[in-house]
Amino acid sequence: MRLGANWKFYAESFSGRFFYDSEDIARPSKDVFRLRSILFYSDQAKKSIREHIHEEIEAPSKDWNSAEYSVFIVEIDKAAKKHRTLSVAYYKSGDIKFHEVITPSGEIDWFPIEKGSTVEGLYELLPKRRFWE
């Protein structure tokens, strides 16, 4: 997948490189931001996925063998410094989506944003208040 100029880098970890779509940020409430994030898997993460993740998530192992990246819909509560993931779509070579997990927002727990975590990098990029407040 080729990213347009609207996709901005925000973190790197064992898992790979993380970007967010700077032109697709919603505000479902005063302190909550909803946005798309993408993770391009590192070689180490791809190896781990091939060996383990297909055991936990129902999708054919042949698809996991060619997994390249995931696209997440994430919400971040700036006031509470918490986050949750609403959906994850998994893609393999050729930009083919082979698995997706979508959970209604009312059924998803919020998790603290830990210091030094990849999501902290995203949290720091978001404004504290709406520009008109």
Tokens coding 125: 């990029």
Share of the chain above pLDDT 90, in %: 59
Task: Return the CATH number of 7-125, one of 2.40.128.710, 3.40.640.10, 3.20.20.100, 3.40.190.10.
Answer: 2.40.128.710
d(CA 82, CA 127): 15
pLDDT at 13 over 90: yes
Q: What is the pLDDT of residues 30-77, one digit of tens each?
A: 899 999 999 999 999 988 887 776 566 665 567 778 889 999 999 999
